């Protein structure tokens, strides 16, 4: 199976790929560098990742609580 075949078969992956490229463009515009060229230390990368994971946890909990509230109504 070629890469082209996979792309045509899986629109979910294509949507994620497009979003990743879009986020990269936003990051380069905001920070003036790519992730590959960013001079952060290993610890700084881990800290950024942790903060993003914590944000995601909050977003997920807010959505769950919203659904629970709707179910209870």
For residue 20 the two structure tokens come to 């990743």
Measure the CA–CA gap between 7 and 23, rounded to whole angstroms.
20
Count other Cβ atoms within 10 Å, centred on residue 1.
Answer: 6
Residues 5-15: tens digit of each pLDDT = 655 679 999 99
Instruction: Kindly report the pTM of this predicted structure.
Output: 0.70
Q: For Cα atoms 57, 58, 59, give the angle at the middle one, nearest 5 degrees.
A: 95
Measure the CA–CA gap between 71 and 34, rounded to whole angstroms.
43
Helix (H, G, I), strand (E, B) or coil at 65: helix
Above 60 in pLDDT, residue 20? Answer: yes
């Amino acid at each position: 199976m070629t890469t082209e075949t996979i792309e045509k078969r899986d629109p979910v992956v294509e949507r994620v790929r497009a979003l990743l490229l879009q986020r990269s463009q936003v990051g380069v515009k905001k920070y003036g560098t790519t992730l590959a060229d960013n001079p952060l230390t290993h610890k700084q990368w881990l800290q950024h990742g942790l903060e993003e994971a914590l944000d995601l946890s909050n977003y997920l909990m807010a959505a769950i609580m919203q659904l629970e509230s709707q179910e209870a109504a």
